[in-house]
Amino acid sequence: MSVVYAVFDEYWKPRWLIDNEAKRAYEFMDDKKRLVTVTQDDVDWDSLAGLPEDVVRRARELDFYFPSFIQKFKNGVAQVKWQLNPDGAYYMDEDGFGMTDDIEVNIYGSINREGKVVSKFKYER
């Protein structure tokens, strides 16, 4: 398996999954930074209860804007770290101004070789 990354807003993002054995490519994220192979049914919404509304909205919109990663595939499955909200330092400029009190919110799920979710994305407190 290979993951093809593209640069969006100065960050490398996982854009395509390449199944080298099957000689197939799967679009994982589109050019608007939205997940393609993940659906709203692939999120454990109960685990997001109590999080800020803008964080939940990003999950609902399948927004893959913030730094997120596909880990190494093992036995045809890879864990995905999907960041729904960065910590406050993300907004800080080079002079140290602009930092917010945001907490980092990541949800984790697993995908197969076609990018389909095999374990729902969940927030673990």
Residue 19 domain flag: no
pLDDT tier at 49, thresholds 50, 70, 90: very high
Handedness of CA 87, 91, 96, 98 (dihedral sign): negative
State how many domains the chain has. Answer: 1
pLDDT at 54: 92
Task: Determine if the pTM surpasses 0.85.
Answer: yes
Q: What is the pLDDT of residues 110-123, one digit of tens each?
A: 999 999 999 999 99
Q: What is the pLDDT of residues 62-92, one digit of tens each?
A: 999 988 999 999 999 999 999 998 654 565 5
Among candidates 54, 38, 50, 57, which has minimal Cα distance to 108? 38
Terminal Cα-to-Cα distance of the chain (whole angstroms): 31
The C-alpha atoms of residue 113 and residue 117 are separated, in whole angstroms, by: 10
Residue 65 domain flag: yes
The answer to whether residues 1 and 70 touch, using CB atoms and an 8 Å cutoff, is: no
For residue 38, pLDDT over 80 is answered with yes
Residue 52 domain flag: yes
- The range of the structural domain enclosing residue 91 comes to 38-122
The answer to whether residues 3 and 37 touch, using CB atoms and an 8 Å cutoff, is: no
Residue 71 domain flag: yes
Residue 54 domain flag: yes
pLDDT at 99: 57
Residue 9 domain flag: no
Residue 23 domain flag: no
